[in-house]
Amino acid sequence: MSTTGKLPESARYCIIGAGIHGLSTAWHLARELKARGTGSGDDIVIIEKSAAGAGPSGIACGVVRNNYFQPAMRELMAHSVEVWDANAEAFEYHPVGYLQISYDEMSEDVATIHEQQKAIGYESEFIDGVDATRDHMLGIFDDWRATGVSSVLHEKKGGYAHNMATVNGLLAKVEAEGVNVVSDTVVTELAVNGGAVTHVVTSRGMVAVDHVIAAAGPWVPKLWEMLDLPDTTDIVSGDSTHTVPTWKFWALQEGTLDVDPGYLMNNDGTMPPVVHVDADAPLHDEDGNLLVDGKWGVYYKPDFNFGGVQGGYMPYPVDKPWRDVAIDPYGPASPDFVVGEDFRAVWAAALSHCQSRFEGKAHLMSQVPSGGIGAFTPDSFPVLDTFCENVYVIADSNHGFKMVGLGALVAKELCGDTQALLEPFRYSRYALGNLHPESNSPYPWS
């Protein structure tokens, strides 16, 4: 489902990107304008280089969780879960809950997450200790056998959504509000005059604009460059300052085991919570070969959209300048970074390490390319801020799909109402030293 509208000569609000954030912002902004009596969806155009959901939003694993060590991220996700719950049918969202199963070194961090989830009214249960962890997991899966884990944070909310179903659900809402969605159109320049962007130049013509919303996922660095914003960022931490690249890229590793999705039902025969395991036990393949000697992390779930048991593994950093990561800055990720056999072997071994039902199933790993490239900010958390006077940048730092409610907050800010939930994500935090705390998770976004 997509739309190729006519490129207008002018637009009050021009949103670049028809992924999860561009669509969510357009939908909520149209509703805000209408409710305030200050406009409607007719004031908004979305410009999309390909088609809605053609980027990361359309291949996202779709996991929705609140498992963050950072208080600001927890509060932002609690808001988004409310949006998921309110639109579960339209977005094909499954509120089955989420399990964070962790090794010893993470236990204290996860206990803190649980206490602070309680403080904001987000229901979860924390189980601590090797024996208690095993008993809790055996109560869900009678074939649970993971070692190298000693705690469980069981979030009762959250779950996962089907990626393109969510995109199409949002697109339908956007179109119902009268928003013009122009696809197959590449933004080639953001024309700045007098300190603000006056025109968005595209492969199909030029649009005069009052406001621009950059919501292009891993292509945001290209728009950042068009605005002549800095390649490096100074980060103040205590009495020291260090300079880092503004953007870095990680290769995401996700895939599917080609079994019936019902293969992962729980002891009650129903859909289980999403399973996320961070372990520090050695990981071996079916022939006893050592694959990982150290910390590792996987997540998985039954998925009728992907047609199997689907999930992912820890990403790895791309050791190239961001301009060299893609063949075409507006095209697909370079095949150099497509998920390969190493991931498939490790992920299949991790499933077997956790549950005996997956023993001997490594040969069923799908060969369909998956994963992709994620663009990360200096601290791997979102940057949500205004630049060049009238350009609102949504740089989600690959936290994207789960934060479907971000658009509602951005829409209010575009209408002049500063949102407290977004304040911790301003770009100025780096220079001010207002940094998010770091956890012991092996994932860069936790």
pLDDT tens-digit profile of 248-284?
988 888 889 999 999 999 999 999 999 999 999 999 9
Same domain, 59 and 193: yes
Residue 229 to residue 214: CA distance in whole angstroms: 13
Same domain, 325 and 421: no
Q: CB burial class (10 A; 0-12, 13-18, 19+) of residue 317?
A: exposed
Please report the pLDDT score of residue 224 as a whole number. 97
Same domain, 254 and 346: yes
Q: Give the residue numbers spanning the domain of 170.
A: 1-94+159-230+379-446
Say whether pLDDT at 331 is over 70. no
Confidence category of residue 336, pLDDT binned at 50, 70, 90:
very low
Residue 237 belongs to a domain: no
Residue 360 belongs to a domain: yes
Identity of the amino acid at 300:
Y
Confidence category of residue 372, pLDDT binned at 50, 70, 90:
confident
Q: Structurally, how many domains does the chain consist of?
A: 2
Nearest to 162 by CA among 78, 56, 59, 67: 59
What order of strands is seen across the sheet that includes strand 296-303?
Answer: 124-128, 151-155, 98-102, 274-279, 296-303, 308-317, 248-257, 372-376
Q: Which residues contact 416 (CB under 8 A, 6 or more apart)?
A: none
Residue 243 belongs to a domain: no
Residue 204 to residue 186: CA distance in whole angstroms: 8
Domain end call among 356, 376, 396: 376
Please report the pLDDT score of residue 5 as a whole number. 86
CA max distance for the chain: 67
Same domain, 224 and 317: no
Same domain, 169 and 44: yes
pTM beyond 0.85: yes
* The length of the chain, given as a count of residues: 446
CATH number of the domain bearing residue 288: 3.30.9.10
Residue 213 to residue 372: CA distance in whole angstroms: 23
Let me know: does 379 contact 435? Beta carbons within 8 Å: yes
Same domain, 210 and 252: no
Segment 359-369 shows an average pLDDT of 87
Write out pLDDT tens, residues 292-319.
Answer: 998 999 999 998 877 899 998 877 777 7
Same domain, 68 and 188: yes
Please report the pLDDT score of residue 304 as a whole number. 82
CATH number of the domain bearing residue 401: 3.50.50.60
Same domain, 13 and 55: yes
What are the b/e assignments for 242-280, b being 16+ CB within 10 Å? eeeebbbbbbbbbbbbbbebeebeeeeeebbbbbbbbbb
Confidence category of residue 152, pLDDT binned at 50, 70, 90:
very high
Domain end call among 325, 358, 376: 376
Same domain, 3 and 78: yes
Residue 307 belongs to a domain: yes
Residue 28 belongs to a domain: yes
Tokens (6 digits) for 360: 């001997």
Residue 280 to residue 69: CA distance in whole angstroms: 19
Please report the pLDDT score of residue 305 as a whole number. 77
Same domain, 300 and 417: no
Same domain, 311 and 391: no
